[in-house]
Amino acid sequence: MNIIDELKWRDAINQQTDEKGLNDLVDEKKVGLYVGIDPTGDSMHIGHLIPFMILKRFQLAGHRPYIVIGGATGSIGDPSGKKAERKLQTMDVVEDNARKISGQMEKLFGQDGSFKIVNNYDWTSKLSLLDFLRDYGKLFNVNTMLNKEVVASRLEVGISYTEFTYQILQSIDFLHLFENEDVQVQIGGADQWGNITAGIDLIHKIKGADAKAYGLTIPLMLKADGTKFGKTEGGAVWLDPEKTSPYEFYQFWINQDDRDVVKYLKYFTFLSEDEINDLSDKVKTAPEKREAQRRLAEEVTEFVHGKDAVKEAENITKALFSGNVADLTANEIEQGFKNMPSVDVTNEKKNIVEWLVDVTKIEPSRRQAREDVTNGAVRINGEKVQDTDAEINPATHFDGKFVVVRKGKKRYFLARIK
């Protein structure tokens, strides 16, 4: 099967502007194609990842991916999917965000020269107002623009002229890449259909109706319960490890519902059809083993964070399940206990009872502390301590940065050494 056939099998195509034309094109040549992203934040989240997974598949199939960082479009705001105006950011913030997102793209797409990152500020900033109005504005019919879903959905609450012109700027991007980089395909989310078709219309008006330019959108990703994919109680799942640790990232994927996991294996991994079908069978025959979820977590975490991050996440997962935390590294402790109750302490040595009550307040009273220690309900750094005369020395484990306390079977506490 060619790349389009594979995308269909993965249920990854929502709309195409010319299905036969695009299918013929990918069979004829190595195609240039792009996905754009506006640097409205300093990191991508997993919702952003969806169209870039498609772009990565084209890269692996030998085609020529381009990533457009919206240094210009990001400074005015895309109205797509928004119910109100975006808050404008300073150009310094936009540039810093663009730099960080470019770094994430290099991790995803490699540094072997098989893809290219460009910034639409480089060509858009050279346009004068008169050039914009005469060369491009004249080619856009306001009635047509108003009928685009991206604009029509905002008419009741209002849309500024700034955001109204967004589709013109995005169209100029497609034209620029078509003329200068031989890019013939734009890929985007379902909400980008209006912007993509506007770009194709502009290319046809300037280069001729026979110009081979195509658009492809990806379906809106919803979970089996109907809620939006990619959100958790803690908010977005980020690609930046400082915002969402690799362990948290891994846990997000491994905790997916049986009803969603096969769909996500198709979307977010590069496993073959046979491998995914085999995992699909295991979901039906042995769901309690969660093999599909584990493989999903391994594949996506490795793609975004690398093999070492997968190993760390698995180490943390096993240690928290078994209680054997002693062999974890300080970095693994930081990740695994990020959202658990924590307290700041000094590195002063203390009797265990005093430390649990006076220093950390993990225990409400000395009587309760002595009882829990004597009964074997307290573990310090993975080791059961039953001697009430034992001493806590914060410097003995995890590079002297942490003391891990487990009370009972599941209650963990983290003492951070300051």
Catalytic residue numbers, as ranges: 40, 45, 48, 82, 86, 170, 191, 228, 231-232
Residue 55 three-state SS: helix
For 270-296, letters b (16+ CB in 10 Å) and e give ebeeeebeebbeebeeeeeebebbbbb
Structure tokens at 191: 């909400």
Q: What is the CA radius of gyration of the chain?
A: 26
Distance CA 215, CA 185 (A): 6
Structure tokens at 47: 């919702």
Report which of 267, 186, 259, 262 is spatially closest to residue 7, judged by C-alpha positions: 267
Distance CA 197, CA 199 (A): 5
Distances in Å between the Cα of 163 and the Cα atoms of 19, 52, 93, 122, 146 are 30, 24, 19, 20, 12
Distance CA 244, CA 234 (A): 10
Q: Is the dihedral of CA 338, 344, 349, 354 positive or negative?
A: negative
**Percent of residues in the chain assigned helix, strand, coil, to nearest 5:** 50, 15, 35
Q: Which phi-psi region, left, alpha or beta, contains residue 77 (left: φ > 0; alpha: ψ -120 to 50)?
A: left
Beta partners for residue 405, in sequence order? 380, 413
Structure tokens at 360: 């950390």
Beta strands in 139-297 (DSSP E): 183-189, 214-218, 231-232, 235-236
Cβ contact 191:182 at 8 Å: no
> What pairing do the DSSP bridges indicate for beta strands 402-407 and 411-417?
antiparallel
Distance CA 171, CA 136 (A): 9
Report which of 39, 169, 45, 128 is spatially closest to residue 91, judged by C-alpha positions: 39
